[in-house]
Structure 1
Amino acid sequence: MLRTMRLLLTSVLAILAPALVCSFHPTQRLNRPNNNPLLLQATTSPRETSLSATRQQEAQGLLDILLGRYANKSSGDDGDSIDGIIGDLIDSLSQARVSFDPAETFNGPLYAVLHQQGPKKPLWEKISLFSNNNVKGQQYTYNADTKEFDLVNYAEILGKGVFIQVEGTAKESKRPVSQAEDSNDQSETSAPTSSLLDGITSFFGSDKREQSSTTQQSSSSLLQCPCDIVATVAGGGLYVGGNKLFGLDFIQGTGLVRVLYADPNLRILESPYQNNGGWEDKGLIVVQVRQDLIPQ
């Protein structure tokens, strides 16, 4: 009964969320694209069109709730009901198995964490308790030379004046998600499945000119959730005033990041295993939002 009421409230809130954001932050209305191209792909099925519209509405509702909470300087202390709605939206978007373009969602600016849930607080959350305004997030940048992503994990302690930055690389997992879930280890098979790099290299590859001349996006550049990324962290440092004060070599290792949902505005990621170095623990789910959408 409680879950039914939550889902009903979720649907209503997803429709009313833009108005709620105005009430949270009346002097500033964020300029965001009204259409999500990942969820408005051409289709001949009215049911698929309806489902895409529902996913778009849910994603926008989640985005507006999190931005409103941030603008209101609240970090989860505004009641279990809002947390429940956020959780239901995360579940629904994760179960939708949407397709996404990695060139739009995993190559670009910093995406900041506006919500996290799991059995234990991650290390980057523990060191960022001095202020709710501290930014924590990730930036993926495609490296054409290595055909991988350069990865930066960023966590502020005292704003931009004192922060931790951890560097590494990321690439596609060669193991299907279904096989990874049936195993307790993170070893990979030789058969690649939903490949993050397949999508990104097709965007940056030699056929880019031909793709730009077409009016419809090639389905080969889209990946379907859930899919896994192998992230390797090589270490990091504590920065004060923009200068590295000392290294943090103990933060290193390899782990999997599971993409549950992704669009150009937000990403839902999960840590399916215990990651080495203690940066994140098994079961952690985060929602990351593109930083330029967040009120400063």
Structure 2
Amino acid sequence: MAFENLPQAEKNQTEVRTNTSSNKSTRAILTGALVVALLGTWGYIIYDKNKTKETVTQQENLIASTSTQRDELQKELEDAAMRYDMLKSSNSKLDSTITSKDKEIEEKRARIQTILNKANATEAELREARTMIASLNGDLESYKNQVEILQGEKIELVQQKAVVTRERDNARREYDSASVVIKEKEDMLNVGSTLQASNFNITGINEKGSKEKSTSTAKRVDKLRITFDLNENLIAQSGNKEVYVCITAPDGTPVAVEALGSGTFSTRDGQQKFFTQKLDVDYTQAKRQSVVRPLKKGGLFS
């Protein structure tokens, strides 16, 4: 019996050894697979970490680059703004063309500053800001040229005004000089045209009926006869002339009665003087004329 069971026992041992070997092989395979999976996981983790680090680095570089660009653009904008303010202050009185340009420049300047104030400004926005700054600089150059043109025109106008002022002053001086000469000539003509009288004579007349006889006896005098000559004058024009007759009494007082036509007149030196009578004489130029006028008793004398 024991002999007969021996092959069966060997068979079982063989199966056990076979199963054990198979289990070891399977375990080895699983272990290898796990190792490979673990290595793969570690590799992915390391790769992902490196990739993440690279992405972070790129983002940091991008942020740094964006910040640098923003700073550069801000500096360019400030420089442009400074130029603009200087141009405005250098020409306080601007014409309508430049004044209308101010609004465009201010709007563009405000738009650029809005972009630069954004903490998360995109590359596209920064490119837009850079383009607008370039455009703004072009506007400022045009603005500067217009200001220079206006200043040049202003200088030219100032120079023209100076020339006109000098010419006006010269003309005024010449006019004043001419006026003085004319006034002098007029004064000379006025003096020269003044009629000069000579051969004054006052004669007492005694009237008897229709006859008249000169007398030197005061009580016999009925009227006075005033005679004088108007000398010839080449300047005075022919026509009616007013001649003032001034008679002085023995006591030195003027003989003048306003009710009988006496009055006052201004002499050439501006003084007021009494006249006894004013005579209208029809004068003929360049001719000596005798004037005779009676003065009745009881009128201006008694």
For the aligned pair, the TM-score class normalised by the smaller chain equals: under 0.3
Higher Rg: 2
TM-score, normalization: structure 1? Answer: 0.18
Q: Relative CO higher for 1 or 2, CA cutoff 8 Å, sep ≥ 6?
A: 1
